[in-house]
Amino acid sequence: MNREEANMIGFEIVAYAGEARSKLMDAINLARDGKYEDAEKLVEEANESIKEAHNTQTQMLANEAAGDTVDVGFIMVHGQDHLMTTLLLKDLVQHLITLYKRG
């Protein structure tokens, strides 16, 4: 896999993770306002975007596992960073929603 192909995968991961991140941040605001069902719905939607990012990431991992040399650049690293921070945010948002419910 050449750098251009890896960059395209990186951009895809950034897009999916960014979409999930936006939904998760909106979910925090909804939970703060007592709209728990709406917040939980956004978390579910964010999970779908995260799954898409994982699927894209898995494509690259499968190529590398099959022996394809992967030329990774900064865009791919950025995509991985976005995905990992979004996964952490998801865990935190779920805890915050629970705390707001107890409120």
Q: List Cα–Cα distances, 88 to 50, 59, 66, 92, 95, in angstroms.
A: 11, 22, 29, 6, 11
Q: Note if 78 is an active site residue.
A: yes
CA distance 53 to 95: 22
* Candidates 54, 78, 82, 95; catalytic one: 78
Active site residues: 78
